[in-house]
Amino acid sequence: MKKIYPSLLLGLWILFVFSCDKNDAQTKTNSPKQNTKAAQNDSVKIDSTKQDTTKTKTPQVTFIELGSVNCIPCKAMQPIMKAVEEDYGDQIEIVFYDVRQDPAPARQYRIRLIPTQVFLDESGNEFFRHEGILPKENIDSLLIKQGLKIKTKTEPKKI
């Protein structure tokens, strides 16, 4: 009976190791293509196709999202980040790091879980951090306190 337990444990361990490798390989091959482009410091900018290349003004706030494209709460943050980018324009820079693809930003910002949002001022100093899903209303309140203004949205003309 004692000989069965070590071999059983060894078998389970081998099964675990091979299943982890298989899942990692599937994650790498099945991960969706992102509509992103590399920005400064090897960061990934959200929806960079709409970025104005003539922009020289530095943003007042940098909003860094540390997460993963395969994380469900991180996926929930994507439309929030897009809405923030639309509302604040060039006043804010939004950067997304997929820490499962590149763990260096996770170490740099010392995150404990994903998603984590880090907000930096113009000087690059962190002034706010949040773990988990951060509602847009809370982000708006935080950014308004930093002096950012929501762009006025033009309503379509009624005929």
pLDDT value at 33 more than 50: no
Q: Please, which residues have CB within 8 angstroms of residue 144's CB and are 6 or more apart in sequence?
A: 150
Confidence band of 8 (pLDDT split at 50, 70, 90): low
Q: 73-131, pLDDT tens digit by residue?
A: 999 999 999 999 999 999 999 999 999 999 999 999 999 999 999 999 999 999 999 99
Residue 65 has pLDDT above 50, yes or no: yes
Per the CB < 8 A criterion, the answer to whether 88 and 150 are in contact is yes
CA 106/CA 108 separation, integer angstroms: 6
The two tokens of residue 130 are 């949040």
How far is the C-alpha of 142 from the C-alpha of 46, rounded, in Å? 20
Strand positions, DSSP E, 35-110: 36-38, 44-46, 61-67, 92-98
Look at the alpha carbons of 38, 91, 133, 115 in this order and tell me if their dihedral is positive or negative: positive
For position 88, what pLDDT does the model report?
Answer: 97
Closest CA to 131 of 145, 118, 146: 118
**pLDDT exceeds 70 at position 134:** yes
Closest to 79 measured CA to CA, from 90, 92, 65, 91: 65
Q: Which residue has the higher pLDDT, 50 or 151?
A: 151
pLDDT at 29: 35
- pLDDT: is 102 or 9 the higher one? 102
Q: Report the percentage of the chain scoring pLDDT > 70.
A: 60
Return the higher-pLDDT residue of 34 and 54. Answer: 54
pLDDT of residue 151: 87
Number of neighbours of residue 91 by Cβ within 10 angstroms? 17
pTM of the predicted model as reported, rounded to 2 decimal places: 0.62
And the tokens for 76? 């929930």
